[in-house]
Amino acid sequence: MSTASQAALADFKEQILQAKQQQTILRIAGGQTKNWYGNNLQGSPLLTKSYQGILDYEPEELVITVCAGTPLEEVELALNHHHQMLAFEPPHFGSLTTIGGMIAAGLAGPGRGHYGGIRDFVLGCKIMDGRGDILSFGGKVMKNVAGYDVSRLLPSSLGTLALLLEVPSKSFLNRSQAQPSTFQ
């Protein structure tokens, strides 16, 4: 983990503990492209843009792990390079849309009807709770859950359950771009 990532996590923990001590409200915000969605905004923003990047990408396994502050466009560009896509076709609400905001909002495009929604593609999660503790659930494989599947609760939660830090998710082959295989 980079020094910048460690600093971002330390900053998140400090903000959470300070808000807890002062009994103030925090609202998790990435690119702030969905401020119109859900209830009226309350509290001071805890900005996640400082914690971004693709942590792991295995194109042959169709799995990508990213930090929540990563722009959606960056992830889609990396997937597109390997003729893959996010099958639920998340809507873009500007270039600042982040993976964390995409999951928190739980919105999907026309691919949802055929492939499923965001909840069906999230394999696990790493979160920070209200005490500043980092917790991990699930993993990078399909059947890796013992106990509560917290990662399935996060889509559509609007950031009310925890601060999403990292998420491994499934990608899908983009058949419109795939090259036919030839065997020799």
Please say if the pLDDT value at position 18 is more than 70: yes
Q: What percentage of the chain carries pLDDT values higher than 90?
A: 59
68-121 pLDDT, tens per residue?
999 999 999 999 999 999 988 898 888 999 999 999 999 888 888 888 889 889
Q: Which of 27-36, 43-52, 125-134, 138-147 bottoms out in mean pLDDT, i.e. has the lowest?
A: 138-147
Q: Quick one: pLDDT at residue 112?
A: 84
For residue 80, what is the enclosing H or E element?
A: helix 72-81
- CB–CB of 31/96 below 8 Å? yes
| Mean pLDDT value of segment 51-61 | 94
What average pLDDT score do residues 131-142 get? 84
Nearest alpha carbon to residue 37 among 27, 47, 46: 27
Other Cβ atoms less than 10 A from the Cβ of 21: the count is 8
**pLDDT, position 152:** 86
How many percent of the chain have pLDDT more than 70? 91
According to the model, what pLDDT value does residue 146 have? 59
**From CA 102, how far away is CA 33, in angstroms rounded?**
10
Can you give the pLDDT at residue 149? 78
More confidently predicted of 165 and 109: 165
Residue 139 DSSP code: -
DSSP 8-state symbol, 184: -
State the fold for domain 3-173.
Answer: 3.30.465
Cα 36–Cα 53–Cα 168 angle in degrees, nearest 5: 80
Q: Report pLDDT for 48.
A: 95
pTM of the model: 0.86
pLDDT at 183: 56
Cα-Cα end-to-end distance for the chain: 42
Contact 100, 68 (CB under 8 A): yes
3-state secondary structure of 7: helix
Q: Residue 127 in contact with residue 114, Cβ under 8 Å?
A: no
In the chain, what are the domain boundaries? 3-173
What is the structure's pLDDT at 33? 87
Q: Which two tokens stand for residue 174?
A: 């983009």
